[in-house]
Structure 1
Amino acid sequence: MLKHSVSSVGKVCINNKKFTTFTIKTKSHELKKFRVMQLPTHRYEEYIDCRMKYYVTYEITHQIAGIPDSEEAMQEYKEIMYKTCKDPSVSNVICCLDNEDNQIVGISTQKLIKRGDREEEIKPRTKPVKRFYEILRTWNNLFPIPELMKNFNLTTYCDDMGFAIHPQYSGIGLANKMAPLRREVCKLQGAPMTGAWMTSPGTKNACARDGWEVIYEISYEELGRILGIKFENAPPSCAYMISKI
Structure 2
Amino acid sequence: MGGKIWSEFQCTKDGALLKFSVRNCTEERMEDATELFFDYLLKDEALQKISGVAFSEDARNECKPYLIGLLRQKTNHMVVCVEETTGKIVGASCMALSTKHERDIPTAMLQTNEVKILFKILSGMPDLYNIGKTYTVDKWYSGLGIVVHPDYRGLGVGSALVRSRRHICKELGVPLTTAWMTSLGTQKAAARDGWETPFEIDSREFAKHFNATPSDGIAPTFKVMVAKP
Taking structure 1 as the reference length, the TM-score comes to: 0.85
Amino acid at match of 2:92: I
* Distance (whole Å) between structure 2 residues aligned to residue 92 and residue 156 of structure 1: 17
Amino acid at match of 1:181: S
Tell me, what secondary structure is at the counterpart of 1:57? Answer: helix
Change (3 A) 1:57 1:242: same
* Worse-matched range after superposition: 202-211 or 84-93: 84-93
Higher relative contact order, chain-length normalized (CA < 8 Å, sep 6+):
2
Q: Is the 8 A contact 1:48 1:78 kept in 2?
A: no
Out of 121, 141, 149, the residue aligned to residue 135 of structure 1 is: 121
* Distance (whole Å) between structure 1 residues aligned to residue 109 and residue 167 of structure 2: 33
Q: Is the 8 A contact 1:112 1:189 kept in 2?
A: no
* Distance (whole Å) between structure 1 residues aligned to residue 54 and residue 223 of structure 2: 24
Change (3 A) 1:139 1:115: closer
* Worse-matched range after superposition: 121-130 or 193-202: 121-130
Are 2:45 and 1:23 aligned? no
The alignment-based identity, stated in percent, is: 28
2:226 corresponds to = 242
* Distance (whole Å) between structure 2 residues aligned to residue 130 and residue 171 of structure 1: 33
2:194 corresponds to = 211
* Distance (whole Å) between structure 2 residues aligned to residue 122 and residue 38 of structure 1: 31
Out of 134, 140, 148, the residue aligned to residue 157 of structure 1 is: 140
1:95 corresponds to = 81
2:91 corresponds to = 106
1:185 corresponds to = 168
Q: Is the 8 A contact 2:200 2:221 kept in 1?
A: yes
1:33 corresponds to = 19
* Distance (whole Å) between structure 2 residues aligned to residue 129 and residue 20 of structure 1: 36
Tell me, what secondary structure is at the counterpart of 1:216? Answer: strand
Are 2:108 and 1:123 aligned? yes
Q: Is the 8 A contact 1:24 1:32 kept in 2?
A: yes
Change (3 A) 1:133 1:40: same
Tell me, what secondary structure is at the counterpart of 1:116? Answer: coil
1:131 offset after TM fit, Å?
1.6
Residues 75-94 of structure 1 aligned to structure 2 (within 5 Å): 75-94=61-80
1:31 offset after TM fit, Å?
1.1
Structure 1's unaligned 5+ residue stretches are: 1-11
Taking only aligned residues, the RMSD between alpha carbons, in angstroms, comes to 1.9
* Worse-matched range after superposition: 130-139 or 67-76: 67-76
1:195 corresponds to = 178
2:30 corresponds to = 44
Change (3 A) 1:21 1:154: same
1:124 offset after TM fit, Å?
4.4
Q: Is the 8 A contact 2:5 2:22 kept in 1?
A: no
1:236 offset after TM fit, Å?
2.0
Deviations 1:172-219 (A, max 9, x none): 222222211101222344210111111100110001000001110111
* Distance (whole Å) between structure 1 residues aligned to residue 62 and residue 202 of structure 2: 31
2:53 corresponds to = 67
Taking structure 2 as the reference length, the TM-score comes to: 0.90
Q: Is the 8 A contact 1:59 1:199 kept in 2?
A: yes
Structure 2's unaligned 5+ residue stretches are: none
Change (3 A) 1:31 1:90: same
Change (3 A) 1:225 1:82: closer
1:53 corresponds to = 39
* Distance (whole Å) between structure 2 residues aligned to residue 84 and residue 187 of structure 1: 24
